[in-house]
Amino acid sequence: MLRLTRKRWTICTISILLIFYKTKEITRSEEHQEAPLNGESEFSTFRLMVNGSEKGFNRRVPSFPQHSVEGWRVNSSLVVMIRKDILRFLDAERDVSVVKSSFKPGDTIHYVLDRRRTLNVSQTLHSLLPEVSPLKNKRFNTCAVVGNSGVLLNSSCGKEIDSHDFVIRCNLAPLTEYADDVGVRSDFTTMNPSVIQRAYGGLKNVSDAERFVQRLGMLNNSVLWIPAFMVKGGEKHVECVNELIVKRKLRVKTAYPSLRLVHAVRG
């Protein structure tokens, strides 16, 4: 059951990140639908990076071309069709997080993957809900998605990753000791509740809590994306993290995927 839950949430995380970027890319495509894609084009390459936080493949990730091939043109009708198809299921800007007006303290929510169980919205959780979507009206020319498989070890891709306009990272993978390979910039970071137990001992002692606080400090007021409504079992970790953020006044923008998003991914 635990493995199935992790698999479902992994699919959910990947879906929102990729759909978010694809929606933005398609929007830019519509704006430039009649422009030739030459070397000076404003269109940019979407890089899929993988974080070197754990030992893994010792090889350099191939570099994608920075410029489009001269003579290519945007298929405007296909762009519109794809965008409409995506928006039938998900609106990344809206679904990336519930907002404060969605709930009030004390509201009862049914977990998406376990409808028999419920979660009560605490005062702390409600206080951390964003007023508006953290991605509202955001547009980026380039984006890097960094996982945590270890494929970037010894790649020296850190500076290149950090050069992108928007950097997405997964599950609070360590950065400092791998900065040359994976960079340090973070604009949007996911955090599954299981990470708290696995990497930070459930925050049960002072040293683990301090390590976690230091890691969040590296986010530099960027978005921390926490699944709070997916499945029962991680709610204690989510609440513990939320209380620590409030108590220590940490500079981080919390976001919690919308119920519409997780229902859509669940199918």
DSSP class of 67? S
The H-assigned helical ranges of 64-137 are 76-89, 92-95, 123-128
Are the C-beta atoms of 199 and 216 separated by less than 8 Å?
A: no
Cα–Cα distance between 99 and 123 in angstroms, integer? Answer: 14
Given the candidates 3.40.50.300, 3.30.360.10, 3.30.70.270, 3.90.1480.20, the CATH classification of the domain at 43-71+98-258 is 3.90.1480.20
Sorted by where each begins, the domain ranges of the chain are: 43-71+98-258
Question: What is the per-residue pLDDT for 74?
Answer: 76
| Cα 14–chain centre separation | 8
Are the C-beta atoms of 125 and 102 separated by less than 8 Å?
A: no
| Cα 161–chain centre separation | 15
Are the C-beta atoms of 187 and 146 separated by less than 8 Å?
A: no
Question: What is the per-residue pLDDT for 199?
Answer: 92
Question: What is the per-residue pLDDT for 31?
Answer: 44
Tell me which residue has tokens 């009030």: 104
Cα–Cα distance between 223 and 248 in angstroms, integer? Answer: 17
Q: Give the chain's residues under pLDDT 50.
A: 2, 22-68, 266-267
Per residue in 116-163, pLDDT tens? 888 889 999 999 999 999 988 888 888 999 988 889 999 999 999 999
Output the CA torsion sign for 72, 77, 83, 86. Answer: negative
